[in-house]
Chains A and B, each alone.
Chain A
Amino acid sequence: MTWTDEELVARSRTGDMDSFNQLILRWERPIYALAYRVIGQEEDARDVAQETFLRAFRALPGFKGQAKFSSWIYRIALNLCRDWIRRKKRTPVSPLPDDVDLSELAAEQGPTESVEDLVARRELSAVVEEAMALLPEEQRTAVILKEYHGMTFQEIADLQGCPLSTVKTRLYQGLSVLRKHLKDRTPPPMQQAVRKTSGVN
């Protein structure tokens, strides 16, 4: 039987550790992805994800269900990411790989994707990562939440604690910077290879 988030939260609040671990299993990947994209460090992103769930578990008695569990956990994760960035006092830039790691490629390869397309996508991913690191934190977070987590403008505004119009402006500005940077850095053939495999409309 599949429990909803709310049911699992209710069971966790009575101390059911297994229920909370089910919530972790359900949300660890999105939270890790969010942390990785915001702070750009693999190990630290993992630590942030772990700390997010630990804090959430400790704060469960105070969670009255006034917001969705996902929104709540995202808020905790974003706060931790913000703390991390402040602590590190630096722009999160991920090291770009010099060559292609086959084991990573294997994990990423789609069933119908050729090796050439895969390599192109991998290189482009690195370029995108580099471009994202150029954005200010608020813009980057807005783009990440919208682009990769499919949140509505209102949800992002709630998470970032700003008006809805500000979210839209941040998104537009962020996309404009990315567009300029990516245009300079990605040759048309690489973009074509991406379009072949991309599912984004």
Chain B
Amino acid sequence: MKKEDQNPLPRSPYCGDPGALVSYLYNDGSPDELASIAAHVQSCDACTSELAALGDTRELLSTWSPPQTELGLTLSSSDALPVAASATMPVPAVSAAVAEVPWWRQSTPVWMQAVAASMVFAAGMAIGAGRGATPASTGTTASAQPASAPPATAVKAENVSKGELADLEQRLRAEFARPTPASPAPVQTAARTDDEALMKRVRTLLSESEEKQRGELALRTAQVLRDIEIQRKVDFATLQNDIGKIQGVTGVELRQQRELTNQLINRVGLQGGAGK
């Protein structure tokens, strides 16, 4: 029965209002509202009782905890990469991230750079060799020709260049046929820089991993120690319980034997008395 029913005060709008009860229960609301609810609760048995029951329920809820599993969630470089970050900073090479970056913004692989450089190098060599071969093959004819005689020179050069072109073609084919020629110096330098960065990252990851493993080992050791302690306590409790039971049983048996003995003595006494 409500205290309010005993006096002429009007029924509070908070009485039985789930929102008000919950606000008061969790102390979540404006100070004025909470003060008004508190004033009502103090004068209302039903709301007081309801809040007490809800408070008890909250106490029980507090016992529920998720399993204490080792999580160790981390994102590695193989995970996704924010698109906005890709253009501004050095980021680890990631497969998933590549899919989000347009192809024209993706970095060219080292092997492709090496092949391209070797092709340029081979072409340059071939052209250079071609230019060097022309004066040699033309000999003094070319040098003897005055600069003011272009038609003759052109004819000579055309005759020579056919053989030279065939030679150039062969050399180019040979260059292209090579598996993967050694990269030119700039590419090697870039590759070395990449390797150093990669090695540095690998070393960092290794040290992080070692540190993590050390932490996990310490955690496991602590857990094992606690396991042993808990097991010891449980065994001790079980042992005490068993001993108590045994003692109880032994006590009952002793009492029964004592009672039986007393009965026998009494009977013998009675029979003796009757015999006399």
Contacts and interface: CB of A to CB of B under 8 A. Distances in A.
Interface string B22-44: 11001011000000000000000
A157 B229 CA distance: 45
A191 B60 CA distance: 7
Contacts of A68: none
Contact of B54 (A24, A50, A175): A175
A3 interface: no
Nearest to A201: B55
Nearest to B94: A17
Interface residues of B, number: 53
B166 interface: no
Contact of A24 (B73, B84, B88, B92): B73
Contact of A57 (B65, B67, B80): B80
B149 interface: no
A106 interface: yes
B83 to A, nearest CB: 6
B227 A103 contact: yes
B60 A50 contact: no
B6 interface: no
A70 interface: no
B154 interface: no
Contacts of A102: 227, 230-231, 234
A128 B85 contact: no
Contacts of B92: 17
A61 B82 contact: yes
A176 to B, nearest CB: 8
B75 A191 contact: no
B59 A198 contact: yes
Interface of A: 12-15, 17, 20-21, 24, 28-29, 32-33, 36-37, 42, 45-46, 49-50, 53-54, 57-58, 60-61, 102-109, 115-116, 121, 124-125, 127-129, 132, 143, 146-148, 152-153, 165, 168-169, 171-173, 175-176, 178-179, 182, 186, 191, 194-195, 198-201
Instruction: Enumerate the 4 nearest inter-chain pairs by beta-carbon distance, A residue then B residue, closest first.
Output: A15-B85, A172-B18, A61-B84, A106-B226
